[in-house]
Amino acid sequence: MAELTYRDAIARGIAQEMARDDRVVLIGEDVAGSGGVFKTTVGLLDQFGPKRVIDTPISEQAILGAVMGAAMTGLRPVAEIMFSDFFAVCWDLVVNQMAKTRYMTNGQVALPLVVKSGNGGGLRFGAQHSQAIENWAMAVPGLKVVTPSTPEDVIGLMAAAVRDDDPVLFFEAKGLYPTKGEVPAGEIVDTLGTAKVRRAGTDATVLALGLMVPRAMQAADHLAGQGISVEVIDVRSLVPLDTATILGSVAKTGRLFTVEENPRLLGWGAEIVSIVAEESFWDLDAPIERITTPHIPLPSADSLEDLVLPSADSIAQTVEKALQA
């Protein structure tokens, strides 16, 4: 085991797949010479050279157009959109082209590509550079949507994404870039569409994604001191969604809380709440509660950003209040 930061795990995950398969290429703004604006691609240019690690102009449309063509002609490209907010600039390519090409060609043209992007808040970048947009993506048929929360999961899910024959949007939680975790040596390959139980519990189920996972874990630690046993599930993959793990946990605990960095309206948790209400209504002992960011643009002031994003304290307080009602 070695300790690795979340950002370094991204580079290791990409390097693992580039070394394994010479069809894997990396393309994006500043991914080569400078190692990425968030330093998630450091060393890849030296290891694989300029024909496989390619800097581009500042054009999200050009980046995604290039990787789409590359995927259609036999490569397995990884593209970087620097901030996930900038998907708004190239959303037509994602929604109307990438997501639909395999379907509209009756499977004759696959699009084995990954689009990685820094996602969400926590770094004081303000309303145009701090959005968590995984709920945008999961609404589009034909896309797979992944958000890891640990360095080991970064590597394993990146491998699974690169090896998949469908387009995968790989959202990196910007607030987790400097965090560290234990990572085993050797090849790591995970499975898309699988959640992980990060902490077992009996009194309540808390679902979290990305940056919210360690905050949910901190909340669970606090609640354990109050005699409340919380099961924390790291959703990891929104499409495909591991409903079996989620519904199994709800059947055990009888209570469900979702912790979402998305603004409240139409966040990913709303869809899961709908599924649980349809599939496991009689397992519930109380109404489901969603812990979310308000439906507002994210502030850039540190005190205001901290106020509106779900925190370990707000998660713990919400769960404790509900269980004591």
Tokens encoding 310: 């779900």
CATH class of 2-183: alpha beta
What is the reported pTM? 0.97
Q: What is the CATH number of domain 196-324?
A: 3.40.50.920
Whether 263 and 295 have beta carbons less than 8 Å apart is answered as: yes
Query: What's the residue count for the chain?
Result: 325
102, 129, 174, 222: the catalytic one is: 129
Q: Is 129 in the active site? A: yes
Cα 241 to Cα 272: distance, rounded to the nearest angstrom = 9
Q: Do domains 2-183 and 196-324 have the same CATH topology?
A: yes
Helix ranges restricted to H, the chain: 6-20, 44-48, 60-72, 91-92, 99-104, 134-138, 151-163, 212-225, 243-253, 268-279, 302-308, 312-324
Cα 256 to Cα 250: distance, rounded to the nearest angstrom = 6
- DSSP secondary structure letter of residue 209: -
Task: List the chain domain ranges.
Answer: 2-183, 196-324
Check residue 325 and give its pLDDT.
74
pLDDT per residue rounded down to tens, the chain (325 residues):
899 999 999 999 999 999 999 999 999 999 999 999 999 999 999 999 999 999 999 999 999 999 999 999 999 999 999 999 999 999 999 999 999 999 999 999 999 999 999 999 999 999 999 999 999 999 999 999 999 999 999 999 999 999 999 999 999 999 999 999 999 999 999 999 999 999 999 999 999 999 999 999 999 999 999 999 999 999 999 999 999 999 999 999 999 999 999 999 999 999 999 999 999 999 999 999 999 999 999 999 999 999 999 999 999 999 999 998 7
Check residue 1 and give its pLDDT.
81
Tokens encoding 143: 């896309």
Check residue 48 and give its pLDDT.
98
Cα 292 to Cα 121: distance, rounded to the nearest angstrom = 13
pLDDT in tens, 44-67: 999 999 999 999 999 999 999 999
